[in-house]
Structure 1
Amino acid sequence: MTDPAPRVRHARPADLPRVAELAAEHAAYEKATPPSPGLAARLDRLLFGPHPPRLRCLVAELPDGSLAGYATCAPELSTWDGVEYLHMDCLYLSAAHRGLGLGPLLMAAVEAEARTLGLAEVQWQTPTWNEGAIRFYDRLGAHAKQKLRYSLPVSPA
């Protein structure tokens, strides 16, 4: 009998502490500010709160039940095109689990989310220095668009 294959599934509330750990690893990998404390609780509200879910989270689960990575996405709007698309905010696999075929599984699950929502496109960004991710996305047939991403903190009123 062979071991079951890794799989991608929707996150459950019990997964959120590990998703928060993976998000902290992701931030460190991208040389970004780490998530502030309480990320798992904030994700819980976005994914499972009393309102329709704003965020979708897919997790790469290994045969032993541990989580090796995640992808998050949410519908967004394109004013120029006058349509919605699925914005993939994050796709991350822990260093030990890259190159094992989990990335394509996560991307296929994100594409399936877009289809389920009736959306014809997925968009995302990756740092220009992340050559491994760029090669991966190019192999999938994705097309890059050059833009700079800005962030403007908003002060409380």
Structure 2
Amino acid sequence: MSEYEVVRRARPEDMADVVELIAEHAAYEKAAPPAPGLADRLAGLLFGPEEPRLRCFVAALPDGTLVGYATCAPEMSTWDGTEYLHMDCLYLTEISRGLGLGPLLISAIRAEARALGLPELQWQTPLWNEDAIRFYDRLGATSKEKRRYTLPTEA
């Protein structure tokens, strides 16, 4: 990894590139593409007038090209009675994997958790994503088997 590659907080001018990465991430996970207007919705969550509900970090190559992102938000654990930082997404383009950017994104998220006074970081990954599972295992993370469900609020 070059000393010019960087992980930093996303800026408003990054939103179009972040949405492109999100679309690539969705395709990688065989999910539906993002709905139109995502850049504006994310900008509101990240850069609105109040305390941001969402945080986003980006990974850039020496030429400034964004090649990855990670998002996180504080959540609550009922069982523990404490808050934690939930990492919703971590994605790197195929060409940028193995450059050391993944650990830098995780470090940025961990630093954010510490800055917020949160004792733990939690996330999930698809069971078929063996590369991600190996990466998280190398970090020393532990896993819990659960299945994630979604349910629309409108009937």
Report the TM-score when normalising by structure 1.
0.95
**Aligned-pair CA distance for 1:103:** 0.4
Q: Which runs of 5 or more residues in structure 1 are unaligned?
A: none
For residues 62-106 of structure 1, give each alpha carbon's deviation from its aligned partner in whole angstroms, at most 9, with x where no partner exists: 111111100000000001100000000000001111111110110
SS in 2 for 1:103: helix
Q: Residue in 2 aligned with 1:89? A: 88
Could you tell me how far apart the structure 1 residues matched to 2:3 and 2:79 are? 45
| Counterpart check, 1:115 vs 2:96 | no
Structure 2 residue identity aligned to 1:104: P
Structure 1 residue identity aligned to 2:122: Q
**Aligned-pair CA distance for 1:61:** 1.4
SS in 1 for 2:25: helix
Q: Residue in 2 aligned with 1:127? A: 126
SS in 2 for 1:87: strand
**Aligned-pair CA distance for 1:5:** 2.7
SS in 2 for 1:149: coil
Could you tell me how far apart the structure 1 residues matched to 2:61 and 2:119 are? 29
Q: Residue in 2 aligned with 1:140? A: 139
Could you tell me how far apart the structure 2 residues matched to 1:25 and 1:61 are? 16
Pairing 1:6-45 to 2, within 5 Å after superposition: 6-45=5-44
Could you tell me how far apart the structure 1 residues matched to 2:24 and 2:57 are? 17
SS in 2 for 1:63: coil
SS in 1 for 2:91: strand
Could you tell me how far apart the structure 1 residues matched to 2:125 and 2:131 are? 10
Q: Which runs of 5 or more residues in structure 2 are unaligned?
A: none
Structure 1 residue identity aligned to 2:114: R
Report the TM-score when normalising by structure 2.
0.97
**Aligned-pair CA distance for 1:4:** 3.6
**Aligned-pair CA distance for 1:49:** 1.1
**Aligned-pair CA distance for 1:50:** 1.9
Q: Residue in 2 aligned with 1:99? A: 98
Could you tell me how far apart the structure 1 residues matched to 2:20 and 2:110 are? 24
Could you tell me how far apart the structure 2 residues matched to 1:112 and 1:6 are? 18
